[in-house]
């Protein structure tokens, strides 16, 4: 079954990581995969463009079906292989509702994180403003505090309660990213506990970005957030 699947991915990319975690959780090892280097612009190669005309990773294919949006790929894989591996959508209506809410809310956290971390890369030098940097950092700070609060209130160790779900698959890579960029574990203890507790989950450990393993020390961009 997994032999009909192809994943083109980049190390450290949360969208790629999500898909890899689901493939592990659903026991779909053995798929065709190719690690591409962003710094070499390999995500703009013809092989990627043929699958994903946006020139972005991941590029994922199952049979003749192409799913390049990571959330779509994750929901599709859980739906197609629901009886295999770990169940990632809870049956309990309340837990399922919370799962979908946190899952899609994770997009806001990822966007606000990118606005801070990639500001200099995204905004031409002549258009950069200290006021925009300050505003972006304040927005990310408020967002991270929101997630710290969510973890204080939830009735279980995971984002949607007692079970590891697509909410964790979707949001964990972004949370790992903010700690990679220096977010203070002391200032956000609930997020830090969540981040550290899931590091050893087999699906996350085996798919940990290889570039992070090679260079365990990240940046300190968010240390004062």
CA distances from 74 to 38, 56, 58, 81, 150 (A): 22, 17, 12, 11, 23
Asked whether the beta carbons of 62 and 4 are under 8 A apart, the reply is: yes
Continuous H helices in 88-180: 93-117, 119-122, 130-153, 166-180
Residue 115 has pLDDT above 90, yes or no: yes
- In the chain, where the domains are located: 2-80, 93-214
What are residue 124's phi and psi, to 5 degrees?
Answer: -55, 150
pTM over 0.85: yes
- Torsion on CA atoms 179, 181, 182, 187, rounded to nearest 10: -50
If you classify domain 93-214 with CATH, what class do you get? mainly alpha
Q: How is domain 2-80 classified at the architecture level of CATH?
A: 3-Layer(aba) Sandwich (3.40)
| 24-69 confidence digits (pLDDT tens) | 999 999 999 999 999 999 999 999 999 999 999 999 999 999 999 9
Instruction: Assign 3-class secondary structure to 143-162.
Output: HHHHHHHHHHHCCCCECCEC
């Amino acid at each position: 079954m997994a032999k009909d699947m192809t994943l083109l991915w980049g190390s450290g990319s949360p969208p790629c990581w999500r898909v890899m975690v689901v493939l592990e959780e659903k026991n779909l090892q053995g798929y065709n995969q190719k690690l591409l280097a962003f710094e070499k612009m390999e995500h703009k190669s013809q092989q990627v463009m043929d699958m994903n005309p946006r020139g972005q990773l991941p590029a994922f294919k199952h049979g003749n079906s192409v799913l390049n949006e990571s959330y779509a790929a994750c929901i599709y894989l859980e739906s197609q292989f629901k009886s295999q591996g770990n169940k990632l959508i809870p049956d309990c209506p309340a837990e399922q509702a919370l799962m979908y809410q946190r899952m899609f809310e994770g997009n806001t956290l990822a966007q606000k994180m990118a606005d801070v971390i990639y500001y200099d890369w995204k905004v031409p030098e002549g258009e950069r403003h200290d006021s925009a940097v300050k505003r972006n950092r304040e927005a990310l700070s408020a967002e991270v505090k929101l997630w710290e609060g969510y973890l204080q209130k939830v009735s279980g160790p995971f984002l949607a309660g007692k079970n590891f779900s697509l909410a964790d698959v979707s949001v964990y890579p972004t949370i790992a990213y903010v700690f990679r960029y220096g977010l203070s574990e002391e200032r956000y203890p609930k997020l830090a506990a969540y981040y550290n507790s899931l590091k050893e989950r087999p699906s996350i450990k085996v798919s940990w970005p290889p570039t992070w393993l090679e260079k365990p020390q990240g940046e300190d961009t968010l240390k004062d957030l």
